[in-house]
């Protein structure tokens, strides 16, 4: 307080230094005092969550039994190499309840049993596109609305009830950065995503049961690609990031096909996170660089429903970008100085675009057939890339991860090869 009273003209750097000083001085004492109660609260939350999971599982089994659908867990999964397709739910869906849809300006409102969930119209259109690619069991879209309702409801529950609660775990890379990853390094797949925040139409996500209809290949730790170029921006959970590194190393060791992971994690060095340390010392590390705090942005975790002026927020931490590649992956997608330059330049484009129109100018008229649409570079398919679908899904689907793009709207070909 004295310091604050004394120094009226302190700059942002002074405040940051002071905060750092306080953190070092007081941090250990606060941590020691709070440790027991924080651990107690976390343990309690863990047990309550586990109990809810058990009950949901029971209800799920009862529902399947009522509909005469046999136990999915009894299904035999073979360990073999297959082309990568969205997770198809091996079971027929029980009959779906009726969900009503109406639009309020640019917002799609879905109502079920008096309860309403909302998503921006452009994202509703994106979900239509993803569904068209992935849900071959429903070519007439008869189950589409109920599946969208379940999807949004699932993420609402995951986010939590408070304003902006939980969205921090869903922050995405800016669109120009994804474009550069695709163009420079042949990336066509996100290891951590949701149907709402995915840029590519191939991605892993936390919830195969709701997200599989929209292209998810399931949780990343259960996904074993043998080849391909992947982006990974995991939720900033130390345990998950650590498990992610173990998985990368295992996959890279196992495959002699070109395999590449470009990873974006917070630059947490005080203390250094195990995941970051392990990646920085990995035998597969080909390159790493940092983007400083406050000099780059993330796309909002509520991008599917937020206002356009809330679309980006400045990162309060540095982001480390790490390239883990096996030999064939390095030969194919080497992080050369020119490519790195283009990737970093994309962060600058994204910063300049901050003031530009956001998602509400996104492809409101975009139909699955009319790729491209209008709007700014960052919110929808780049004007310069009219052959693509939506900005939210500008990814060219690839036969083989080679550099030729495959326009959206045609049959989605298999891309990475995964062993399941
Ligand atoms: C930081 S966001 C990534 C946003 C965007 N897809 C990107 O790559 O920039 C992390 C995403 O991973 C999802 N997620 C959480 N657990 C996951 C898991 N086990 N496998 C795959 N995705 C997961 C979250 O729901 C969230 O959408």
**Inter-CA distances, 68 with 61, 71, 77, 93, Å:** 10, 9, 21, 11
Residue 388 forms part of a structural domain? yes
Residue of 201, 123, 203 whose CA lies nearest to 388 = 201
pLDDT at 418 (0 to 100) = 46
Q: Is the C-beta atom of 171 inside 6 A of ligand 1?
A: yes
- Residue 19 falls inside a structural domain: no
Distance 195 CA to ligand 1 centre (A): 10
Residue whose CA is closest, atom 9 of ligand 1? 172
pLDDT the model gives residue 420: 33
- CA 152 – CA 302 distance, rounded (Å): 11
The CA 170 to ligand 1 mean position distance, Å, reads 6
Instruction: Please indicate whether residue 193, judged by its CB atom, sits closer than 6 Å to ligand 1.
Output: yes
85 part of a folded domain:
no
* Residue 181: how many other CB atoms lie within 10 Å: 27
- In angstroms, the Cα distances linking 167 to 158, 159, 206, 220 are 9, 6, 15, 20
pLDDT score for 369: 26
Residue 20: predicted pLDDT = 86
Say if 212 falls within a structural domain: yes
Is 332 within the bounds of a domain? yes
Question: How many helices (H) and strands (E) would you count in the chain?
Answer: 10, 13
Residue 261 CB–ligand 1 contact under 6 Å: no
Q: Which domain holds residue 249?
A: 167-419
Cβ atoms of 394 and 179 within 8 Å: the answer is yes
Q: 168 C-alpha to center of ligand 1: Å? A: 11
Q: Which of these, 111, 133, 283, lies nearest to 215 by C-alpha position?
A: 133
Beta bridge partners of 111: 100, 116
> Does the residue 340 lie in any domain?
yes
Positive/negative CA dihedral, 109, 113, 114, 116: negative
Alpha-carbon span 397 to 413, nearest angstrom:
7
The CA 235 to ligand 1 mean position distance, Å, reads 6
62-67 LR contacts (CB < 8 Å, sep 24+) = 63/94, 64/91, 64/94, 66/94, 67/94, 67/95
Q: How many domains does the chain have?
A: 1
Question: What integer pLDDT is reported at residue 17 of this predicted model?
Answer: 86
156 token code pair? 């609402």
pLDDT in tens, the chain (420 residues): 566 666 677 888 888 888 888 888 898 898 899 999 999 999 999 999 999 999 988 998 888 888 887 766 666 666 778 778 777 666 777 778 899 999 999 999 999 999 999 999 999 999 999 999 998 889 999 999 999 999 999 999 988 877 778 777 889 999 999 999 999 999 999 999 999 999 999 999 999 989 999 999 999 999 999 999 999 999 999 999 999 999 999 999 999 999 999 999 999 998 999 999 999 999 999 999 999 999 999 999 999 999 989 999 999 999 999 999 999 999 999 999 999 999 999 998 766 565 433 333 332 222 222 222 333 333 323 222 222 233 333 333 332 333 333 323 333 333 444 443
User: Is residue 394 situated within a structural domain?
Assistant: yes
Residue 138, judged by CB atoms within 10 A of its CB (0-12, 13-18, 19+), counts as middle
Q: Please give the sequence-ordered ranges of beta strands (E in DSSP) within 236-340, or none if there are none.
A: 259-266, 285-291, 297-299, 312-314, 319-325
Residue pair 342/180 in contact (Cβ under 8 Å)? The answer is yes
Does 181 sit in the ligand 1 pocket, CB within 6 Å?
no
Can you give the pLDDT at residue 7?
66
């Amino acid at each position: 307080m004295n310091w604050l009273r004394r120094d009226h003209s302190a700059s942002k750097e002074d405040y940051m230094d002071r905060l750092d000083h306080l953190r070092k001085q007081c941090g250990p004492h606060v941590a020691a005092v709070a440790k027991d109660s924080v651990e107690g609260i976390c343990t309690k939350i863990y047990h309550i969550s586990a109990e809810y999971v058990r009950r949901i599982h029971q209800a799920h089994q009862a529902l399947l039994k009522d509909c005469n659908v046999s136990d999915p867990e009894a299904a035999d999964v073979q360990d073999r190499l297959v082309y990568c397709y969205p997770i198809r739910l091996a079971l027929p869906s029980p009959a779906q309840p009726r969900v009503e849809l109406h639009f309020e300006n640019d917002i799609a409102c879905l109502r079920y049993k008096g309860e309403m969930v909302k998503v921006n119209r452009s994202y509703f259109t994106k979900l239509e596109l993803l569904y068209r690619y992935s849900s071959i069991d429903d070519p007439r879209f008869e189950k589409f609305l109920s599946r969208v309702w379940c999807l949004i409801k699932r993420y609402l529950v995951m986010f939590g009830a408070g304003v902006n609660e939980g969205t921090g775990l869903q922050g995405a890379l800016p669109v120009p950065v994804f474009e550069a990853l695709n163009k420079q390094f042949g990336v066509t797949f996100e290891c951590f995503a949701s149907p709402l925040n995915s840029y590519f139409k191939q991605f892993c996500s936390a919830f195969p049961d709701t997200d599989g209809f929209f292209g998810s290949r399931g949780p990343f730790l259960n996904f074993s690609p043998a080849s391909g170029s992947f982006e990974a921006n995991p939720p900033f959970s130390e345990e998950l990031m650590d498990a992610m590194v173990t998985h990368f190393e295992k996959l890279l060791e196992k495959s002699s096909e070109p395999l590449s992971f470009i990873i974006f994690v917070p630059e947490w060095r005080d203390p250094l996170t195990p995941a970051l340390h392990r990646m920085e010392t990995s035998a597969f590390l080909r390159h790493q660089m940092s983007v400083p705090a406050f000099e780059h942005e993330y796309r909002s975790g509520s991008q599917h429903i937020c206002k356009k002026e809330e679309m980006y927020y400045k990162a309060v931490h540095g982001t480390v970008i790490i390239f883990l590649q096996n030999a064939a992956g390095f030969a194919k997608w080497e992080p050369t100085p020119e490519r790195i330059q283009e990737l970093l330049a994309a962060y600058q484009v994204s910063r300049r675009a901050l003031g530009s129109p956001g998602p509400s100018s996104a492809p409101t008229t975009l139909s699955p057939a009319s790729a491209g649409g209008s709007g700014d570079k960052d919110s929808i398919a780049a004007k310069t890339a009219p052959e693509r679908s939506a900005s939210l899904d500008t990814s060219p689907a690839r036969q083989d991860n080679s550099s030729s793009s495959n326009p959206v709207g045609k049959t989605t070909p298999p891309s990475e090869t995964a062993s399941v």
